[in-house]
Structure 1
């Protein structure tokens, strides 16, 4: 349980923040950049959900993903220890990645095949989901930088981000009247 009685701590006034472990680090640390971009992705999903209309199952899926993004932020904010016992820290699970894959397949089943790249746009929900997708891709790049720096990172966290960006692409197509309102790229059309 998280209890937030005091919103400001003044620790950020000098460019520092604390990880879930209590360790003080710079706000520009790769780990902070990674979970910060995850937080931005979550905010974009919140905006997208304002436009999902009456599709309760679709909205519920996005709501569950928003909750999982908080779990992902906690995972990234808690560097894994080599001797970490299972369940000692909140971690993204492979089963969550697998659920995203199943949801991608289910959403994609009713969509027409792609004949071109898609421009972000169409319906308000689709445009917002495309924005969430691009921010998620940035979060993924930040997480890759974190891994490449040698910092301990949960392997499922990176897989989750990769699948989520794929899901958001398919979700944007789904939100575009199941592909009917997509805006297709026309290569060289303005030459």
Structure 2
């Protein structure tokens, strides 16, 4: 049994190395072959092909990994605060950190998975119940949220809209202010301190 666990652990480490290498290689050259990814991971080409039968399987794994990271960001943000507005701010900061660190994978998983969408719906319901936003339609709030996330993410780092400073914080603050404005933020008190 110990030998089986060691093989499984080695396979998991190899898979992690392949995904990490793929993220970097494909960010530089989206058409790079699996062989180049194997070289970057320091693994035999056969190992990459054993873990991922083809390029599509590798790209699917990268998208799944990003969705898992979004779920983890949500978990961590919820652990940090119970206040829905603070949760929105914390979550947006974590999401922009992920977006900046995973630029290539974003093209593969541009929409959060179903569990993340469900959690977003609950967050917007809580924001509405707390009187932070006026809009109650979950499909519309999610759509506005995703569109704004994308638009703020696409801004060049030197955009005047970001106001300089730490890029992740600047993007997060711009996103939260724009989102609250679009969803009918109830009074200036909700925007103070963002």
TM over 0.5: no
Query: Normalized against structure 2, the TM-score is what?
Result: 0.31
Work out which structure has the larger RCO, using CA pairs closer than 8 Å and 6 or more positions apart in sequence.
1
Larger Rg: 2
Query: Normalized against structure 1, the TM-score is what?
Result: 0.32
Structure with more strand by fraction: 1
